[in-house]
Amino acid sequence: MKFEFKISKLANQFFFISNLSEWHFSCRPSYNKKWLKITGPLSKAEKNALAEFKKIITKYGFTRKREKDKSKYLGQIFFLYSKKESWEKLGKFVKKTEFKKIKEIFKILQPRFNKIWNDRFEKILIVQVKYLKNYLNNPKNNRLFDDLKKILGNEKSPQEFTVIAIASPLKGDGITAAGGANIGDKHITLEIPILKNNSWEFEYSIGILAHEIGHIFLRKSKHITTILNAIKKLGLPKQLSSSIQPIYSTLEFITELIIESLAPYGYLSQKYFKFKPLNIIFSKPNLKVLGENLQNFKKGKMISGLRLRKLLVWQLYPLVIFYTESQKKIDKNFISEIGESLVNLMNKKKPVT
């Protein structure tokens, strides 16, 4: 598998504005806190601009009428094309009034973005991308991705990917990359913090990249239809309990669970990484937290959906090991077992008394 990295100021500026607007639950509050600490409080004009941007981008969202249709996500325009092409394509993609507003919003936020981009984050991002490229260009480090394709992919699965590098403002112990797969079948966005070479955080960030590629493999296969059929057959609701935060559709939750069972803390990461997820993510203290999260769910309290999935990944390790080591592709039986694990969990939930 081959990886190319793209560093674009405009892509990073879009991400900066999008994240500050807090239009979606996937926006990172920790990034905003760090950026504002560096650049100072938002002005009234900036707050109004971000509120306006939130209205526009929410209208388009990550939506597509059908799974095979192209996404309406505005980010794909800024991530995929040059500065000139981006504005040209945006002008054809949105209404004229929206285009004018977006141009003005970028102008208003430009000085604040320049403070972080020109002074520090561009240089840091270049260094971090160099480390990642060196790792991924080593054939022995590609085996995880090869196995991922064998399990989730098919003959239509891409072999080459472009990674849109986004500068994360975070650094320190436990800080890893984050990512997204919302811009087509050959492009990934990867939010890259300052990572130490030869650290579990660095390897985990590679696992994040693998996880996002897993989403592309699933989209290119027929597995989404199989998951939907399993949800219906098992009698699961289309929307999970509102006590699981953020609120997921059952399809989203199961899709994430399947890919997480492989990477970044699933079996493929355990198999190929020097720093084993079983020793870190599923350490005794962390398992205690996951268990407490489950108990709160049974009591009807608000809980973390991510922690709930981590507990299920832990329970599903034997199943995933069997499929991986048998070189079996996931199938309806695999997906049914994943769904049944969720059914069992939902049935164990008791109302508050």
Taking alpha carbons only, the member of 274, 256, 253, 278 closest to residue 265 is 278
Sheet with 160-171: list strands edge to edge.
Answer: 2-7, 160-171, 187-194, 178-180
Q: Is the pLDDT of residue 131 over 50?
A: yes
> What is the percent of the chain where pLDDT is above 90?
84
Would you state the pLDDT for residue 309?
A: 96
Q: Quickly state the pLDDT bin for 348 (edges 50, 70, 90).
A: low
In angstroms, the CA 269 to CA 44 distance is 46
Mean pLDDT of 280-305: 94
Q: Is the pLDDT of residue 211 over 70?
A: yes
Range from 220-229, 249-258, 315-324 carrying the lowest mean pLDDT: 220-229
Instruction: Give the helix/strand (H/E) hosting 112.
Output: helix 96-116
Mean pLDDT of 302-330: 95
The residues, ordered by sequence, that sit 6+ positions from 162 with a Cβ below 8 Å of its Cβ are 3, 4, 5, 6, 186, 187, 188
> 277 and 326 in contact (C-beta within 8 Å)?
no
DSSP 120: I
Q: Quickly state the pLDDT bin for 278 (edges 50, 70, 90).
A: very high
Output the average pLDDT for the chain. Answer: 93
Would you state the pLDDT for residue 156?
A: 82
Would you state the pLDDT for residue 70?
A: 67
Q: Is the pLDDT of residue 305 over 90?
A: yes
Mean pLDDT of 95-121: 94
What's the whole-model pTM score? 0.93
In angstroms, the CA 315 to CA 208 distance is 21
Q: Is the pLDDT of residue 52 over 60?
A: yes
